Amino acid sequence: MTKPVVLLAEELSPATIEALGPDFEVRRCDGANRDELLPALAEGVEAVLIRSATKMDAEAIAAAPGLKVIARAGVGLDNVDVPAATKAGVMVVNAPTSNITSAAELAVGLLLASARNIAPANQALKGGTWARKQYGGVEVLDKKVGVVGFGRIGQLVAERLKGFGVEILAYDPYVSAQRAGQLGARLVTLDELLAEADFITIHLPKTPETLGLIGEEALRKVKPGVHIVNAARGGIIDEAALATAIAEGRVAGAGIDVFASEPCTDSPLFEHESVVVTPHLGASTDEAQEKAGVAVARSVRLALSGDLVPDAVNVSGGAVAEEVRPGIDLVEKLGRIFTAIAGAVPVQLDVDVRGEITEHDVSVWGLSALKGLFTDVTSTPVTYVNAPLLAEERGVETRLLTDPVSEDYRNITTLRGTLADGRQLAVSGTLTGPKMVQKLVGIDGLDLEIPISEHMAFYRYADRPGVIGTIGGLLGEAGVNIAGMQVARDDEQGQALVALTLDSAVPADLAEQVMSQVGVDQFRIVELD
């Protein structure tokens, strides 16, 4: 059996390879070299693992028609075209927590190095100058430290600095004063932080809103003698404006690990002894690299096994409870059955979930339903990534409805949709028994209970004798054996619905033959291979 191909476009830790396991063919290339990367991607690659040097832009994504996952062994995604990946149905995963400790520790190190002039003193001494008086510094004790961005890394920095006896000021529009207080910080506005802080450390993501946030205007508001640290993202601090503020004496010093353009070997900040700089070392520890590689390797394993990776950056949802996970595949199959029976995609779809399962977050089932709806009606490979995009492009509106009360089953999920021509269809399913058997239990309010199988057929007809036997004969002549059958009808003289599970696929022309010879109103084939 052919193994899925995983391409390592950059050097990753041995633990990464170990985490992937033996189920994949691992290839390597120099991802920074486009002439090497693009041909390598074209050779059946299903997942590519990168760090920061490899650019997975639209061109690279297009070069890999079989690509399913881009895994960035790190936090930032500046080198990945996420919209292009989403459109192509390619999942993008990263390791958002792998380097948080390393980044926090570096920020603290830069702050202390700036406060005590460690870098210039080291350089002077190695150059033969004993300059004790020239490189005196300031204590951190009893100072105010302003943390700009109070997310996971900002909180870790605050936690470590509290041991130095400082007061923590926090600025973050998405953090409540109560939450900041629980962590020993005082939540303030940015202007308040700039005016009060003796040290400022930046821990914001790079966004259009944060780009240049600490620029000329902000640096005119800082407390004289402030030290500024940026170990987050380049461009948040205006480097030229900071260099000017240092030259004018408004800022005493800085510790900078990231730059607007990287690699950076020339910056106005380099002219000042009071600035300690490092070449983007925030994640450059053995521990962070190993954590990042192992985390994305596990995500790749999940994705290539067809499982949902709910924390992928371009997949809507969130953490999925273990109780919810078995229903993901069921709901996807219900979506495929819906489309097969309807012969079209609905314009409005309700995903109606009832029963005790609603104690958990089942929002991922809405995503599964969309994936199922489109799987068999588009030539584009449908994934958890691009299913919402396909729905948006086709004007499909979806709602998730939940109710803890389920009268007939412990849990039941119904996909209820309205088609463009006004027709309505409802398909219901559930999981039964200790083995969580997937069963179809209703179509348009008609009760059924039949295991969902790889090969199925459904037909409606005006109830009368002989129809079932005739269709059975036609299937037999075509070499198709009936494994199971359920008949449902609304009344004795009304319409009947027959659901069949089959041992093999139904020939495509058989549906037309049944329709013409037997006179059924509808004959639909469902192939769930």
CB atoms inside a 10 Å sphere around CB 364: 25
Tokens of 168: 């923590």
Contact 283, 292 (CB under 8 A): yes
Annotation marks residue 454 as catalytic: no
Strand 167-171 with 144-148, pairing: parallel
* 467-477 helix and 508-518 helix, angle to the nearest 10 degrees: 150
Annotation marks residue 280 as catalytic: yes
| 163 half-sphere exposure, CB direction, 13 A CA radius | 5
Return the ∠ at Cα 355 (arms to 354 and 358), rounded to 5°.
80
In angstroms, the CA 239 to CA 269 distance is: 7
User: For residue 458, what is the enclosing H or E element?
Assistant: strand 455-462
- Of 184, 193, 175, 156, which Cα lies nearest the Cα of 282? 156
Which residue among 280, 298, 301, 416 is the active-site one? 280
C-alpha distances (whole Å) from 512 to each of 377, 459, 517 are 19, 12, 8
Walk across the sheet containing 455-462 and list its strands: 482-489, 495-502, 455-462, 522-527
Q: Is the dihedral of CA 473, 478, 483, 484 positive or negative?
A: negative
C-alpha distances (whole Å) from 445 to each of 186, 337, 425 are 57, 15, 9
Contact 247, 269 (CB under 8 A): no
Return the ∠ at Cα 390 (arms to 384 and 391), rounded to 5°.
95
Which residue among 36, 209, 217, 262 is the active-site one? 262
Residue 190 DSSP SS3? helix
Which residue among 72, 203, 233, 416 is the active-site one? 233
Contact partners, residue 312, CB within 8 Å, separation at least 6:
91, 92, 93, 299, 303, 384, 385
Annotation marks residue 233 as catalytic: yes
List active site positions. 233, 262, 280
